[in-house]
Amino acid sequence: MEHKPLARTVLARWRHARIFGLGDRAAPVAFTPGLCLTSHDPEIGVEMAPFTIEHNSEKLPATLSISARGAWSYPFGETDVPTYTADEGHTLPPSLQEADSGLGQSTGPLLPVSWQRLVHDATLLDANLSPEIIVIQDAVQLAGHPGRLVQTIHLIRERFPAALLWAPGLGGPDNCAILSWFGLDLFDLRRSQQAAAHGILLSRDGPRHIDSTSGESSEMAAQLSEWRASLAATRSAIQTGTIRELVEKQSLNSPRLVEHLRRHDAQLSGSAPLSMHVDKGQRLRCHSSVSRADPLVQDWIHRIENEYMPDEIQRQTLVLLPCSARKPYSASQSHRFFRSAIRNRRIHQVIVTSPLGLVPRELEEQWPAAHYDIPVTGDWDDDELATIRRMVTALVERVGYKTVINHSGIDFEIETIDTRPEGVGASSKAACDVLREAIESIEGEPMREKTFLRHAFASLSRWQYGTDAWMEGLRVGGKPPRWMLLKDKQQMAQWHPDSGRFSFTKSILPILRETGTLREIEIGGDEPWKGDIFPHMVISAPEDLKIGEEILIIRDGKLLGSARCKAAGWEWKCGAGRLARSQHRL
């Protein structure tokens, strides 16, 4: 049978969760996350159920076929309906990982995978292996082994970025968001069929008995209604970047889901596909203690605690300030009071907060510092206090501040000058007067605003790019809030506070390359570079690229221009959809 590649494009992504549009990318009619239907399942629209599945065990090895429910192979005619078939092989329980069943599964467009196959089958390492759909055959059994399910999904997801992943018998309306967060794309109705047979409704909040007083039913129509709502909520959350919030809610449906999420967070610590910049309206909602384990939060804490250094002019005196509900903090009324009391620009302002711990003033417009929401009660729990105190101690020891002024209201073991009288609000006139007196007692030469901003932008550049060498010879000009960095009278970059990024002009790209400020990706081809960056163009790229990161485009050693990442580094090898949007062409 002729292999018909599945046409797909990524419509939205958030870490490992993605929405694929299937078929003609100009007008897709089916999407993931979605369902695979058997001949025994009720009818459901193709927009929710893109595939049908058929299992044949009349002879061994058993076979599995997955067929698209539309013409989703180029050129999208009536006969361009892709169907993929594979031998399932013999799958041993995950506990017998040292054993090799001896009956290998098929290797092709439809790729059956088990724990044993991951351990023993070297063909999975073949660089030319490019499956359309991957089936994790023993997913239900893996879910019962601590850590193995999330480990397997993560390994397969990043090894085959363009493939659709299906874990038979595992998904339901109660966990499809969290499984999509891990990297799965396809689900089935097996659990819903089982629930219906036992008179149980598999709802978005987990399986439960029906309420006869309201006329509720456990029939498949009711089961499908739960599926539609859950899939719609998951897709919406991926599009808006709020899927982490939905995942945290959904994890509470069972102890096993809580375990899976904790192991997933621990596994991705230090290597998660994080974003460098996000849209202004993006929020990081930290409504529970679970949010503190998010790799994004842990990455911020690690960098502030172990890597961050303020500019040299601000390494003498530190002032610790409380956070505010409004972000960035400078836009809040309380911080306007604080800033009016802190006239000495050489004083380093650091905001104390949860769950990020500490946010230096010059980084307050960065993601996620400018975008997080957290319930504000005025009370700190032991974990929050321990994190903040540990970070403050590490920062003071590394930087070597001579004076620490504490206006946060938190007690520290290090020596501080406390400026917040007991029982008085931090932004009250009495407290701000005490803070002002402490600041005025610190000696420091006056500094012009633009000179100070030059130092602040240098610190920002080191945070974002690891260097500020590209700023040599530049001065700050223009007007707030979009300050410009100028060379003589020529604009080289502009600060965009809404997105927390530098916007570079075309003329500075060679300097950015010479100083190693921006990372490079190499593309192939002979035609002039036009349009955006897609997977077939890429020869090499860093594996840890972040969404929103600015990159330089290189071909045959020559600088062609710049682009902005739309996909994280794990998708750049054999991924799908647009990877980066072009910015400048030289």
Question: In this structure, are residues 379 and 345 in contact, taking their beta carbons and an 8 Å threshold?
Answer: no
Q: What percent of the chain has pLDDT over 70?
A: 98
pLDDT at 95 over 70: no
What residue has token string 């804490």? 301
pLDDT digits (tens, 9 = 90+) for 282-307: 889 888 889 999 999 999 999 999 99
Confidence of residue 120 (pLDDT cuts 50, 70, 90): confident
Euclidean distance between CA atoms 294 and 268, whole angstroms: 9
The packing angle between helices 220-240 and 190-197, to 10°, is 140
Q: Which pLDDT score, from 0 to 100, does residue 100 have?
A: 61
* DSSP strand pairing (490-496 vs 501-504): antiparallel
Model pTM score: 0.93
**What six digits make up the tokens of 422?**
């007991």
Q: Which CATH class is domain 448-507?
A: alpha beta
For the beta sheet containing 8-14, the strands, ordered from the edge strand earlier in sequence to the opposite edge, are: 8-14, 17-22, 30-31
pLDDT digits (tens, 9 = 90+) for 367-379: 999 999 888 777 7
Homologous superfamily in CATH for domain 284-440: Uracil-DNA glycosylase-like (3.40.50.10630)
pLDDT digits (tens, 9 = 90+) for 123-134: 888 888 999 999
Enclosing H/E stretch for 247: helix 243-251
Please name which of 310, 309, 286 lies closest in space to residue 298, comparing C-alpha atoms.
286
Confidence of residue 395 (pLDDT cuts 50, 70, 90): very high
Euclidean distance between CA atoms 477 and 457, whole angstroms: 12
**What six digits make up the tokens of 225?**
């209604």
Domain regions of the chain by residue span: 8-91+102-268, 284-440, 448-507, 518-586
pLDDT digits (tens, 9 = 90+) for 477-497: 999 999 999 999 999 999 999
What residue has token string 């690229």? 545
* Phi and psi torsions of 476, nearest 5°: -90, 135
**Three-state secondary structure call for residue 562:** strand
Q: Which pLDDT score, from 0 to 100, does residue 96 have?
A: 62
Count of C-beta atoms within a 10 Å radius of residue 571: 26
pLDDT at 102 over 60: no
* Phi and psi torsions of 31, nearest 5°: -145, 160
Enclosing H/E stretch for 372: strand 372-373
CA 256 vs. chain centroid, Å, equals 23
E strands present in 466-577: 475-477, 484-487, 490-496, 501-504, 519-523, 538-540, 550-555, 558-565
Homologous superfamily in CATH for domain 518-586: PUA domain (2.30.130.10)
pLDDT at 244 over 70: yes
